[in-house]
Structure 1
Amino acid sequence: MEEEQLDYVLVPLGLFLFGLYHVWLLFTIYRFPRRTVIGLNAESRHQWVSSMMTDPLKNGVLVVQTIRNNIMASTLLATTAITLSSLIGVFVSSKSESSSASSELVYGNKTSIISSIKYFSILLCFLLAFLFNVQSIRYYAHVSFLATVPTWKDNKESIEYVARNLNRGSFFWSLGLRAFYVSFPLFLWIFGPIPMFICCCMMSCILYFLDTTSNFTQHLHSHSIRRQVTKSNDAELAGDLS
């Protein structure tokens, strides 16, 4: 295969493998959520909201501090994303004298169109990461107000609404983090399609072990949820008897 044709074969193949893994992950989250870390964390956050909102006056400070930590994490990623986007924009717009020397390190298509696509893809990933993290901050800030309302103590529909908004903020944070993950193989594409394809394969394998859960973790999670439900039922029964 000629050197110029590697980009037209390895790059789509690497992106296809990376996209196929995320399609499988999305399907697993919807059908078998406890097999993924994202699904278990969503259930844990729902349980946390239910326990915190049983007494919002007592747990209000803890709720605000926890949401503030999540907002700080999202702010850090959003600031990093927009900073890298600005640096890439300045780098692309400037004419570097070392472009001919750096092109010798690239094994693949060195045309200006392919180079523009490379930088535009990385810039798009960072812009999406910025938007996702901004949306995450928006939901977290909204939850910090909703979770401390005393009038929603015994309203299960309101608690479900708060838990749903908290999970949405976390999902947007996960999407922003995924955009950073996608930027790694796209950045290596600058040095050629072979490093990019290898990075896609390695990232898919690494993310599989990070996103899936073991049977032991699922058992501990199920046991903790059953124990929490039993305690809440006992508390409600004691209240009814009193």
Structure 2
Amino acid sequence: MEILSGAMMMMQKEYLDYVLVPLGLMVFMLYHAWLLYSIQCNSLRTVIGLNAESRQQWVLAMMSDPMKNGVLAIQTIRNNIMASTTLATTAITLTSLIGIFASKASDDHISSTKRISITLCFLVAFLCNVQSIRYYAHVSFLITAPTLRDKRKYMEHIAKTLNLGSHAWSLGLRAFYLSFSFFLWIYGAVPMFGCCCLTSLLLYFLDTTAKITRDIHSNSFRKESGTNNHDAEAALEPDYYPLAGDNVCQNTSVDNV
């Protein structure tokens, strides 16, 4: 009887793993699918879209006077690089520790799947943060190099690169969030499912913006955007320094910077 009871309990646990774990992942993925749709259709309703526009305005403000704001811009980008470096180091360290533990353990396929899932989350977080560092390092050179004639496209390229770095950092951070659910999977499928639902709920409040926030953001930039854009172009235009050989085609090829 005891053997039969133990077998039934094992079957029940496996049944919960096969049902609740996919449901939890589906909740997490459906939320992010909705978030991606919101960013594409109405970006200002999300914090990601609002911050992307703010970073674009920040680039215009910094490049309105590169000699004065150059140090501030580099310092800000360096802080972002340090944050991405910390997360990347943490992710690869935890991946190594899990690999060492897994090499000494011999468990069933469910336990192996749990460790592999956690490891994949940390590897994705590491790769995303490395890409974030790459983009930020690229921006640190571009934002202080007044070498192009087409200032408008040049500044848009820098803002786009800066936003790509921020998006990569956000993806890495969300991989960390998902790893919490896989950690709780060690204690059972129910805690894992509950963590996925709770994480998605908390992220909803963190990722969406209130109407008053959107109004303040829009009104602030509407009043200053025209002045900032004009000042940026006016300030940068006299500071044109040709590249070697005065190759105008090379200067205007912004997308290959």
Judge same fold: TM > 0.5, yes or no. Answer: yes
CA contact (8 A) 2:64 2:228 kept: no
| Superposed CA offset, 1:198-219 (max 9, x none) | 1011001100000000001000
Report the AA paired with residue 3 of structure 1: K
Q: Distance in 1 between matches of 2:155 and 2:124?
A: 30
TM superposition shift of 1:122: 0.3
Gaps of 5+ in 2: 1-10, 236-257
List structure 1 runs of 4+ shifted beyond 4 angstroms: 233-236
Q: Does 1:169 align with 2:179?
A: no
CA contact (8 A) 1:136 1:172 kept: yes
CA contact (8 A) 1:36 1:213 kept: yes
Report the AA paired with residue 216 of structure 1: I
Going from structure 1 to structure 2, the CA distance change for 1:235 and 1:187 (only over 3 Å counts) comes to: closer
Task: Specify which of 59, 82, 85 is matched with residue 95 of structure 2.
Answer: 85
Q: Distance in 2 between matches of 1:201 and 1:125?
A: 18
TM-score (norm 2): 0.83
1:102 is aligned to none
CA contact (8 A) 2:122 2:179 kept: yes
Gaps of 5+ in 1: 97-110
CA contact (8 A) 1:82 1:126 kept: yes
Report the AA paired with residue 54 of structure 1: S
Q: Percent identical across equivalent pairs?
A: 64
Q: Does 1:198 align with 2:194?
A: yes
CA contact (8 A) 1:56 1:153 kept: no
1:214 is aligned to 210
1:70 is aligned to 80
1:33 is aligned to 43
Report the AA paired with residue 89 of structure 2: T
2:239 is aligned to none
TM superposition shift of 1:227: 1.3
TM-score (norm 1): 0.88
TM superposition shift of 1:150: 2.4
Q: Distance in 1 between matches of 2:173 and 2:130?
A: 12
TM superposition shift of 1:37: 0.3
CA contact (8 A) 1:57 1:150 kept: no
Task: Specify which of 114, 125, 130 is matched with residue 129 of structure 1.
Answer: 125
| Superposed CA offset, 1:93-129 (max 9, x none) | 1138xxxxxxxxxxxxxx7011101000000000010
Q: Does 1:138 align with 2:134?
A: yes
1:149 is aligned to 145
**How well do the aligned residues superpose, as a CA RMSD in angstroms?**
1.9
Number of aligned residues: 224
Report the AA paired with residue 134 of structure 2: R
TM superposition shift of 1:177: 0.3
Q: Does 1:5 align with 2:1?
A: no
| Superposed CA offset, 1:4-24 (max 9, x none) | 211010000010011000000
CA contact (8 A) 1:70 1:140 kept: yes
Going from structure 1 to structure 2, the CA distance change for 1:163 and 1:233 (only over 3 Å counts) comes to: closer
Q: Distance in 2 between matches of 1:170 and 1:84?
A: 23
CA contact (8 A) 1:45 1:167 kept: yes
TM superposition shift of 1:3: 2.7
TM superposition shift of 1:153: 8.0
